[in-house]
Structure 1
C-alpha cells in the first residue's frame, strides 16, 4: 500500500461499527427475515421498498455532499471517484445467478449474516452455498485464465 493510501488506525474499527449499525438496521427493518423478503419479491408486501428507498436517499445525499466538502476519503486518503463496470456477459450471467440465489434463499448475502443475529440458523445453508459458489467461480475463472495464457519456456 502506498504512503498516499495508508489507512488511518481507526479504519477497521469504524468498518466494524458500520457493519454493526448496518446489521442492526437490517434486523430492525425485518430485512433479515427471509419470509418478509420473499413476500416483497412476490410483490405482496412492499414495506421493504420504503426501507430501500430511505437507504438510497441517505446514501445519495451522503455521496453528493461528501464530494462537495472533501476531495479524499478521510480514513484512507483515496480520491473520490466513480468506478464504472462495463455491462458484459459476466455481469449479466453473474447478476442472474445472484438473483436466483436471492430468490431461492429469500435473502441477499449482506442480510444473510444479520439473519443469523435474529436466530435464523437455517440461513447457514445459504451462507455455505455462497462460499461454495464463490470458490467454484474463482476456480473456474482461474482455470480459464491459465488455459488462455500462452505457454512460455518457463512453464
Structure 2
C-alpha cells in the first residue's frame, strides 16, 4: 500500500509540475526544437530543474538499502549504445518533434478532454502494439542489439 501511495504522490507532483512549466502545451516543445526560428527555452528550464533535483537527491537516496516507494532499485546496468537505441531514439524524436507530445504528456493531457491528446495517446498504444507484433514475429529488437 505504501508503494501505491508513493506512486500516487509522485505522479501528482509530476503532473502538476508539467502543467506549471508549460510542457503540456505542444507549442512549447515545438518552439524549443525551433532553434533557428522563434526559440522557446521552456523545456530547457524544465529539464535543468529535473536534472538539478536528481543530481542533488540521487546520492542521498542511494544510501538507503531500498527505495522509499518501491521494493527494489531499478538502475540500468547496460551502457552500450546499440542500433536499437539509436533507431528508437530517432523515431521517438521525430514523433515528439512533429507533434509536440511525448508519452507522458499525452497521458497527462487526457485530463483536458480534448480530441488531439486522445488521438496521440491511442496512436502511441497502437504503435506499441505494432512494435510488439513485429518484434514477436521477427525478433526485430534483438537483431538490432
> TM-score when scaled to structure 1?
0.78
Structure 2: segments with no counterpart, 5+ residues: none
TM-score (norm. length: structure 2): 0.83
Corresponding residue to 1:110 among 97, 104, 120: 104
**Structure 1 residue 59 displacement after superposition:** 1.2
Which of 1 and 2 has higher RCO (CA within 8 Å, sep 6+)?
Answer: 1
Higher-Rg structure is: 1
Unaligned runs of 5+ in 1: 1-8, 149-155
1:45 and 2:37 correspond = no
Partner of 1:31: 23
Aligned residues: 137
Indicate if the aligned counterparts of 1:24 and 1:114 stay in contact, CA closer than 8 A: no
> Within 5 A, what are the aligned runs for 1:5-84?
9-43=1-35, 44-68=39-63, 70-79=64-73, 81-84=75-78
In the alignment, is the contact (CA less than 8 A) between 1:112 and 1:127 conserved in 2? yes
In 2, the alpha carbon distance for the partners of 1:80 and 1:33 equals 30
CA RMSD of aligned residues (A): 2.1
